[in-house]
Amino acid sequence: MKKVRRWGYSYIKLDFLHGGALPGRRHLDIPREAAYRAGLKALREAMGEYALFLACGAPILPSLGLCDALRIGPDVAGDWENTRDAVLLYNSTIPGTKNAIRTSIHRRWLDPLVQTDPDVVYFRSLECSLNDEQKSLLQDLALVCNFNATSDLPQWLNFR
């Protein structure tokens, strides 16, 4: 993290952090949440206080106080929901706009503790089957969450 900061990055997003809290053998014989938190603390200290640290795929409670922002929902997709996964398999954790909105709204209570990142995407014009009403819901959620970033490729964006 110190090297990443020397490269000039002040916004650092780390994903799949829940892996640090999975059951398994560790160097120290401590509970997995404590090991995860110790690792996160080392990362935070190496970043320094002037970096914005976004933790994604992270256990919520053990992350509080060590990151500036938390991804609070599943990935948004260009579809409202995947019928096979969401309806037939009843899997509410898969990427999709409906899941992202629902999960983000249910985790708004975290906002006084950490900046919430709903991973909303609403400018996308390619690989997107969302209708205008669904895109409008994403825009509203972005406003409520005070979120103003996107990870879409620039050529996929439509600012009309």
132 is catalytic: no
79 is catalytic: no
CB 120 within 8 Å of CB 76 = yes
- In single-letter form, the type of residue at position 47 comes to M
CB 72 within 8 Å of CB 54 = no
Pairwise CA distance, residues 37 & 63, whole Å: 7
Token pair in block for residue 146: 């005070």
Pairwise CA distance, residues 78 & 131, whole Å: 10
- Side-chain half-sphere of 158: how many Cα atoms within 13 Å? 9
Catalytic residue among 75, 117, 119, 152: 75
Which active-site residues does the annotation give? 15, 75
